[in-house]
Amino acid sequence: MQATHNTAAKAILILFPFAFAALAICSMMIGAKDIAFSTVIQSILHFDASQPDHQIIMHSRVPRAIGTCFIGAFLAISGALMQGMTRNYLASPSIMGVSDGSVFLVTICMVFLPHASSLQMILFSLVGSALGVAIVFGLGSILPNGLTPVRLAIIGTIIGTFLSSLASALSIYFKTSQNISFWFNARLHQLDPNMIKLSIPFAIIGLVMAIYLSKSITILSLGDDTAAGLGENTVRIKLLAIISVAILTGISVALAGKISFVGLLIPHITRFLVGNDYRWIIPCSGAIGGIFLVLSDVGSRFLNAPYETPISIVTSFIGIPFFIYLIKRNGGKANA
Amino acid sequence: MHKHELPRFLFIFILGITACIVLSYTSLVSGSYSISLSEVWHTLLRIQPDPELDLVILDFRMPRIIIGALVGLGLGIAGTVIQAISKNGLADPGILGINAGAGLAVVAFMFFFLGNSPLDGFFSAISMPIFGFIGGLLASFLIFGLAWERGRLDPQRLILLGIAVGTGLSAVSLYLSLKMKASDFDLATVWVTGSIWNANWYFIIAIIPWFLLFLPIILFKANLLDLFQLEEENVKGLGVRTERQKLILLLCSVGLVAVCVSVSGSIGFIGLMSPHIAKRLVGLKHKYVLPISGIIGMLLVIVADLIAKTIVLPAEIPVGIVVAIIGVPYFIYLLFKARA
């Protein structure tokens, strides 16, 4: 059994670059202006600044394809870390209020520091997602039975509502609601190449931490007591994992706003394919998450052509039935 | 203890009504255009009416306060019923996704009918509650149906499914509203955030019959809600057809919620908070809890609306956001108090 799982994991990781390349080219061809395959290839190989199509591809569609893949991967890895760490099948960045924390601090940043640079925005977003995780898990640990799937999901939803309500109240109070509604809604079509470049160092830190932690997360997913018995410092691992989640989710929100359900859905699919070893789950979640989001992004251009549908609507359409399936299967009881 | 229940109830009832009137008056005179007490009286009693004051008081502020009060009343009572039926103190029409279902139906109505033909305001005001009712009903059947397992309702699962279905339905609403014309889109976004600034007399006329239909049924059956707190078998032993009665009560409360949503959009937390506050004040008997819960709901919405419209003059915060900011800390307090 373990062997087949390993093969599956290796296959996913090997196929990932090819799948991404194929999808990325699709994503570059389709849009408000359809561009021919040959032009796409040409503009990547021999960029000609005088041709508008080449400009569109290099400045809008290439960043979009790459950024979308990054975001999908970050969200899926965050979800995998959270699910492994809490042994909670509903844990994920959007349900647990992490994204809302990020939106809240970005709002504060926009209100009080209207001329903040992109780098400052990213930093605020990171602090915000850390704040979101801290509040939700903090309350979860204080409350009786707070870390069971249901309680944590309720606390997450409620804190999320609270933070986003505060954010919109602030934004209306300071009359910046238009800029801020940008942050609430996912906006992959406006991915800023500079933001992507700025976020790369943070992303590397987050990803390295996630992979470094993956072995410990596997042990942690057996239960806190078992992990402690096997000589793991559970508090340290959880703290590091939360930092990693905060970094990865924070960057995603800074790049493209709130995208729901990727972090919930992908780790489950990945676990189904590659088994319970987080050394495989974490990289494979990243690969599948990236592909999933690029695919959803391409789909979002068909739903209401020629306009684009917000990506969160697409991911919700796919994610909600899955969410309901998970609840039906696992029930409301604590899930060991 | 039992001897004091009735006087205590009457005292709180009168106190609550008085507070509502005082706050309504405060709300009537405050806003971006200040009005004095005598001007209010002159306008209401038609002594030397001034068209400008008529416009502000009669066309803008009065309907808004009345709608706010009705919505609070409806949500407070519906919340009490839903909590009693599901035996879950954390149940709330908003969390359970009923708001989202009614909202989706209203958005769908605007999308399919309002965009095409030039319908007058009265027709749409009358039909929106009906659509809201159908949508809320379908959503609650979906949620309760999914949560139903082996003849019983798992309260924990109910809440989770509510969150899930609610998110899904809101996504559909957003999708539909994005396909609308810009002017209809603005109208539709009102439902997403929960706001009563566009209240008018048509809405009031449209929802009053529903209140007159559902409220007496619920109040008449208040004693049954006490019985539902017992074990299922005992209630059946008393000769009550539980499933049938539950269904009737559920239909009535979903109806109330849907009607409220169709005029005010999704205002969460009122249905959650009011029953708890009411139970602290008058004990556990539903014949006392229901009216008090309705009054608390009215108070909460009127206060939230007062805050929403005065804190950022001349702009306004949607009342749903104010309610969420007040409601969430209370919800967390409830979670702390709830036994594990």
State residue B340's pLDDT score.
42
CB contact under 8 A, A332 and B331: no
How far apart (Å, rounded) are the C-alpha atoms in residues A84 and B258? 40
- Domain residue spans of chain A: 2-330
* pLDDT of A75: 92
Choose the closest CB to A332 out of B157, B175, B317.
B157
User: Rounded to 5 degrees, what are φ and ψ at A185?
Assistant: -100, 140
Distance from CA of A153 to the nearest CA of B (A): 8
- Bridge partners of A229? none
Alpha-carbon gap, residue B81 to B286, rounded angstroms: 9
State whether CATH 2.40.50.100 applies to domain B2-337: no
Under an 8 A CB cutoff, do A310 and B332 touch? no
* pLDDT tier for residue A177 given thresholds of 50, 70 and 90: low
CATH number of the structural domain A2-330 = 1.10.3470.10
Instruction: Spell out the domain ranges in chain B.
Output: 2-337
- Has the ipTM of the complex gone over 0.90? no
Contacts of B167 in chain A (CB under 8 A): 260, 316, 320, 323
Identify the residue among B96, B154, B156 best suited for mutation to test binding to A, counting A beta carbons within 10 A and taking the highest.
Answer: B156
For A114-173, the pLDDT digits (tens) are 777 778 888 888 899 888 888 888 888 887 776 777 778 778 888 888 888 888 788 777
Cis-peptide into B314, omega within 30 deg:
yes
Among residues B157, B140, B149, B154, which one has the least CA distance to residue B250? B140
Cα Rg of chain B, angstroms: 20
Identify from A175, A320, A326 which residue to disrupt to test chain B contact, counting B C-beta atoms within 10 A and taking the largest count. A320
The pLDDT assigned to A334 comes to 39
pLDDT of residue A293: 92
Encoded tokens for B52: 């400008």
pLDDT of A314 reads 86
- Which residue shows structure tokens 């596997």? A218
> pLDDT grade, residue A3 (50/70/90)?
low
Per-residue model confidence as pLDDT tens digits over B217-236: 998 888 888 877 776 666 66
The pLDDT tens digits of the residues spanning B175-228 come to 777 777 666 666 666 566 666 666 678 778 888 888 999 999 998 888 888 877
A165–B160: do the CB atoms touch at under 8 Å? no
Question: Rounded distance, CA B162 to CA A199, Å?
Answer: 36
Q: Compute how many other C-beta atoms are within 10 angstroms of the C-beta atom of residue B7.
A: 9
Is residue B105 within 8 A of residue B174, CB to CB? The reply is no
Q: Is the CB of B317 less than 8 angstroms away from the CB of A153?
A: no
- How far, in Å, CA of B260 to CA of B275, rounded? 17
Lowest mean pLDDT among A4-8, A240-244, B40-44, B239-243: B239-243
Nearest to A172 among B158, B315, B338 (CB): B315
Report how far residue A230's alpha carbon sits from residue A10's, in angstroms, rounded to the nearest whole number. 28
pLDDT band, residue A310 (cuts 50/70/90): confident
Residues of chain A positioned with their CB less than 8 A from the CB of B174? 310, 313
In tens, the pLDDT along B94-125 reads 778 888 888 888 888 877 776 554 455 667 66
Euclidean distance between CA atoms A85 and A231, whole angstroms:
16
Query: In this structure, what token pair is assigned to residue B329?
Result: 């800390």
Place B76 in a pLDDT band, splitting at 50, 70 and 90: very high
Chain B's closest residue to A319, CA to CA, is B168
Q: What is the pLDDT of residue A331?
A: 56
**What is the rounded average pLDDT of the residues A221-242?**
82
First to last CA, chain B: 29
* Better-predicted residue by pLDDT, A71 or B1: A71
Task: Indicate which of B163, B177, B266 best probes the interface with A, i.e. most A CBs within 10 Å of its own CB.
Answer: B163
Angle separating helix axes A234-256 and A193-220, nearest 10 degrees: 150
- In this predicted structure, what is the pLDDT of residue A11? 83
pLDDT > 70: percent of chain A? 91
| Cα–Cα dist A149/A128, whole Å | 23
CA distances (Å), B297 to each of A163, B7, B255, B270, in order? 23, 21, 17, 6
Chain A interface mutation, best of B92, B160, B178, highest count of A Cβ atoms under 10 Å = B160
Question: At residue A332, does pLDDT exceed 50?
Answer: no
Our CA dihedral for A9, A10, A13, A15, rounded to 10 degrees, sits at -110
Is some CB atom of chain A closer than 8 A to the CB atom of B90?
A: yes
B339 interfaces chain A, CB cutoff of 8 Å: yes
- φ and ψ of A277, to 5 deg: -90, 115
Nearest CA in chain A to B160: A150
Nearest to A180, CA basis, from A165, A161, A160: A165
Contacts of residue A118, Cβ cutoff 8 Å, sequence gap at least 6 = A192, A194, A195, A198
Return the pLDDT at A335: 40
Q: Chain A: nearest CA to B145, how far in angstroms?
A: 11
